[in-house]
Amino acid sequence: MNRKEIFTHYTNLIEKMMRENEFWKIYFQDPFCIVNDTEIPWYKVRCGAYRGCLIDDDYPYVVKWQLTGEGDECEKEEYIYNRACEVGLEKYFTEAIFLGTYETSVFTFSSMDYSETAVNEKFPNDVELAAILHTMVSFGYEQGTHLIRIRLWAYPKAESAKTKIASNHIATCDDARHSPLGLNLEVGRAWIDEIGLNEYHRLSEFLADYEVDDLHSGNIAMMNGHLVIIDYAGVC
């Protein structure tokens, strides 16, 4: 893993996004939650409640950033991952890797002005964006130079675990209860089948110690044929 190479790859991608669509120049000034996931042929943007995520389908890492005004979930995950390494549990998590801070200046409208005229916080199509920008001009808003400054974190790309979670399990629902992993019993049963009950209890105690409690099926994935937790900031 080469942090500089990953950072360069994704900052080049962000710059390409901004060149090709004015929306991203506005968005990255103060990243907000995009209601609709965005899929363009060469990238995807996903937004949870607190973080954005940029995915290049042909690259082994994804990058995440904090949304404006939210917490420090990526930093928390880096801390938890390091603690997991100390007790031999790191293989159950995707590693959170701080890449650095991306800074640039763009000539466009202010994100504050945009938020006043955009009805929905979503990625607009070309017609909607043109209408929003036209409205901003009619409101007297002017373009100017604005700073973009976002901290980027890399995570190894993982695959969906839905098939494994939905399959028949040997472990019982009673075995899976009383664990952060057992809030979704099928998730808990899948973990027990893979790592055994004793290791399940050990991992569960670790997760409880760090208040990781949002372990629904969407936050569990597969890497190298094994289950991993891909979102462990503990935010429900």
For the chain, domain boundaries: 3-157, 162-229
pLDDT per residue as tens digits for the range 176-232: 777 887 777 888 889 999 999 999 999 999 999 998 887 888 889 999 999 999 999
Q: How far apart are CA 154 and CA 110, in angstroms?
A: 28
Does the pLDDT at position 236 exceed 60?
Answer: no
Q: Write b or e for each residue in 205-226: b if 16 or more Cβ atoms lie within 10 A of its Cβ, otherwise e.
A: ebbeebebebbebebbbbbeee
Task: Return the amino acid letter for 7.
Answer: F
Closest CA to 135 of 117, 123, 110: 117
Residue 33's pLDDT is what? 81
**Which of 36-40, 106-110, 221-225 has the weakest average pLDDT?**
36-40
Q: 């009383």: which residue's tokens? A: 178
Closest CA to 182 of 196, 161, 201: 201
As a whole number, mean pLDDT of residues 22-30 equals: 94
DSSP state at residue 218: G
